[in-house]
Amino acid sequence: MVLARQNPARYKLEMKNYTLRFTTLFFLLSNLSFADVFSYSLQGHPKQESNCHEQAKSVADQFENATQVKVVHSECTAETETGYDFSIEYESSKKLEFTSTDYIFYGVYSKGRYADLKDCEKNLPDQVAVFKRATQLDPMFSYCRHQGLGTSKPWEIVITAPGKSELQPALGGFLLFSQPKNITYADIFNGLKTELYKKGAILSDLVFQSGFPTGEASVHYYSTDHFFFELSRVTKTMKLEQCLTQVEDVKSWFQAYSIPNFSIFCGGPDLGEFELSIGTLESPSFTWKNSIEFFKSFDECEANKANVLKNYSGSALQTILGGLCSRDVEDRNFHVQILRKKKTKNS
């Protein structure tokens, strides 16, 4: 107060400096964050050094460079014939997020893609390129890992990047029950690729565990959603020519009504019969049901099909796409398999 009376100008300057120092200190304290320690687990990394503990150091360096956080500890936690497991502890104000093909949930479908390591390593660069295009992230780790399970294709691809992308790696699949007759692996792959693209998703890989053309199919893709891939077995015929004709009929109906699907084909013979199968990304937007009318032969069914369909027409809720003659599994007679779609305001 004395200074204020004796030298008002100096007093005002001192107060201004005091206020500035106090404001700066308050800003620093309010923005100071205290780091916590979190852990990250890396499993099945290839053996690049003979000593697991030495490799733990190089893996920690990779993690630190990619995430720009401080690693406080890294150690080797397990060793198998093909790789090492590591635990990495790091300091951060919050737990880091990662995007990885090391799927958290993958259902009953196998993550393995290749029968041997050589094929896996050959295709790894292509899969890394797909990962970067889909996620817009730079991988921190990318390698081939052995599942250690009883499967024909035990080698899987692990690609991991710091950050969370909008499109997430996902895994689904379907079963092929009989050998396709009018379609190739490339046809199914391209069909899936097209349908996924329409949903804003990117197809990464299509793998048949027991080898194309029969067995389990694993679909690796990037998407904001998970899809339920379904392969519906719609009709059974005695001759391949009959089934192939039905394929063309269904294709024309689906095209006319814009019904999504990734594949329509004939498979067999299975116990002397051929099956018409239709693949969809989600639950089918069409239905199929046997007519109550039945016939002793395929030709008799075809001759009466138009009249049978008249008995089921006129629904206010469903539109009939068409009818396909099919042998029933239980009574072994031929029925008209009636395909329909739910009516909308525009249909």
DSSP label of 132: H
| Locus of tokens 């199914």 | 188
pLDDT at 25 over 50: no
Q: Which residue has the higher pLDDT, 11 or 229?
A: 229
Mean per-residue pLDDT over the chain, rounded:
89
Give the list of residues 6+ apart from residue 263 with CB closer than 8 angstroms, or none: 183, 187, 188, 191, 192, 231, 277, 278, 279
pLDDT in tens, 44-94: 999 998 899 999 999 999 999 999 999 999 999 999 989 999 999 999 999
How deeply is 11 buried, as exposed, middle or buried, from its count of CB atoms within 10 A (0-12, 13-18, 19+)?
middle
* Count of helix runs (H) and strand runs (E) in the chain: 7, 15
Which residue(s) pair with 270 in the sheet? 273
Nearest to 206 by CA among 105, 109, 103, 104: 109
pLDDT at 296 over 70: yes
Q: What is the mean pLDDT of residues 188-210?
A: 94
pLDDT of residue 34: 58
Instruction: Give this prediction's pTM.
Output: 0.84
Query: Two tokens at 60?
Result: 């920690």
Q: Is the dihedral of CA 50, 53, 59, 61 positive or negative?
A: negative
pLDDT of residue 226: 92
pLDDT at 286 over 60: yes
Q: What is the mean pLDDT of residues 181-188?
A: 90
Beta carbons of 326 and 236 less than 8 angstroms apart: yes
pLDDT range class, residue 27, cuts 50, 70, 90: very low
Strand order in the sheet with 286-295: 286-295, 334-342, 318-327
pLDDT at 229 over 50: yes
pLDDT at 206 over 90: yes
